């Protein structure tokens, strides 16, 4: 297939692009490089552009005869979304609607969407299945859930086939250590703990030690970024017109913040300086996915089923790129 990947130079996008290319698809990465990295994708795939540039998108879709779209481009910081909801509705909804309309005009109705566990809010029962009510508690989650609704309407009215993939905690890096996680600012637990282990940060602050969990810290379902990538490839290849697929993506097992810290210590052989702090507002105590539906319906199987291997891959990336993509040659960074 000839595939447009928006946000394809970002963390999850770049790992998915590799898999699409390995499957023999042709890929055009459309990315404004606000979060993405030039060095994360093959130069010949990259088109630098913004989702609000409808003319640019129109031209690309038409001239390259695009047949499908995988849409990653979005703002993804929960805390920022509370402080600046306009940015989230603009980037994640208005700009996404521009993209959808460009696709619709060109008759492209095959679409895979990056959704999130944040669409579920604070569910009472674990694990979270596709039947769990979606009640997001922040603008980020609401912007993503709204696009899920929009896609359902497009599928019904225009025969689009779409998949909404709700990621739990994306983590890890490519097995060969050549691409990985590099956010600015970095807010995600595993890279922050690794940075604390090697002295790039004074310590890791544990956000809350009084949660109703076995050790008092939050529990999350960490899923390897390459396992997310393989889910996108499967969903894209299996989609039928008029079909709306919704899948939760995790490994079905939760790890606490303290367990993550211990695992980083084990993998790196270094002691992590820890400071216990208050809860971070908006953090649910526990988020664990059931991915039984995608396993059953698409035959998806995660290759990384324990935290240690996920952390090993993140450590491998960190060792070769201690400052992320800044450690790539300038022309490629």
Contacts with ligand UFG by CB under 6 A lie at 76, 78, 116-118, 140, 169, 187-189, 192, 204-207, 218, 220, 257, 280, 283, 287
- As to burial, measured by CB atoms within 10 angstroms (0-12 exposed, 13-18 middle, 19+ buried), residue 102 is buried
- For residue 310, the minimal CB distance to ligand UFG (Å) is 12
Q: What is the three-class DSSP state of 270?
A: coil
* Contact by Cβ (8 Å): 72, 5: yes
Task: Give how far the C-alpha of residue 247 lies from the chain's centroid of Cα atoms, to the nearest Å.
Answer: 14
- For residue 2, the minimal CB distance to ligand UFG (Å) is 29
- For residue 125, the minimal CB distance to ligand UFG (Å) is 16
- For residue 181, the minimal CB distance to ligand UFG (Å) is 10
What is the dihedral sign for C-alpha 43, 172, 77, 131? positive
Q: Is 77 a catalytic residue?
A: no
How many CA within 13 A on the CB side of residue 87? 12
How far apart CA 100 and CA 285 sit, in angstroms, is 35
How far apart CA 139 and CA 118 sit, in angstroms, is 10
Helical pair 11-22 and 225-238, crossing angle rounded to 10 deg: 50
For residue 219, list its beta bridge partners: 256, 286
When CB distances to ligand UFG are compared, the closest residue is 218
Nearer to ligand UFG, 262 or 280 (CB): 280
How far apart CA 8 and CA 22 sit, in angstroms, is 15
How far apart CA 320 and CA 115 sit, in angstroms, is 30
- For residue 284, the minimal CB distance to ligand UFG (Å) is 6
Residues 6+ apart with CB under 8 A from 12: 72, 114, 167, 170, 225, 228, 229
Nearer to ligand UFG, 67 or 205 (CB): 205
Say which of 30, 88, 140, 211 is annotated catalytic. Answer: 140
As annotated, the active-site residues are 140
């Amino acid at each position: 297939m000839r595939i447009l990947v928006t946000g394809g130079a970002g963390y999850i996008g770049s790992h998915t692009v590799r898999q699409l290319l390995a499957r023999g698809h042709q890929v055009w990465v459309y990315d404004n490089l606000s979060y993405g990295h030039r060095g994360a994708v093959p130069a010949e795939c990259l088109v630098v552009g913004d989702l609000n540039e409808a003319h640019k998108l129109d031209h690309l879709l038409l001239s390259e005869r695009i047949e499908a779209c995988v849409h990653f481009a979005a703002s993804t910081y929960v805390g920022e979304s509370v402080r600046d909801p306009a940015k989230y509705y603009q980037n994640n909804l208005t700009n996404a609607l521009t993209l959808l309309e460009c696709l619709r005009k060109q008759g492209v109705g095959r679409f895979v969407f990056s959704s999130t566990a944040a669409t579920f809010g604070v569910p009472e029962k674990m694990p979270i299945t596709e039947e769990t009510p979606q009640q997001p508690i922040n603008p980020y989650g609401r912007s993503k859930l709204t696009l899920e609704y929009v896609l359902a309407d497009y599928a019904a009215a225009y025969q689009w086939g779409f998949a909404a993939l709700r990621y739990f905690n994306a983590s890890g890096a490519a097995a060969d250590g050549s691409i990985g996680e590099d956010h600015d600012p970095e807010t995600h637990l595993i890279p922050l703990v690794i940075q604390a282990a090697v002295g790039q940060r004074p310590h890791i602050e544990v956000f809350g030690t009084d949660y109703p969990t076995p050790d008092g810290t939050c529990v999350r379902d960490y899923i390897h970024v390459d396992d997310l990538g393989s889910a996108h490839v499967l969903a894209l290849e299996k989609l039928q017109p008029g079909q709306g697929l919704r899948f939760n993506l995790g490994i079905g097992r939760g790890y606490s913040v303290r367990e993550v810290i211990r695992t980083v210590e084990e993998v790196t052989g270094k002691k992590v300086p820890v400071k216990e702090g208050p809860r971070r507002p908006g953090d649910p105590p526990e988020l664990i996915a059931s991915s039984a539906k995608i396993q059953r319906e698409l035959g998806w199987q995660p290759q990384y089923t324990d935290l240690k291997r996920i952390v090993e891959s993140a450590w491998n990336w960190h060792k070769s790129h201690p400052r992320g993509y800044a450690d790539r040659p300038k022309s490629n960074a």
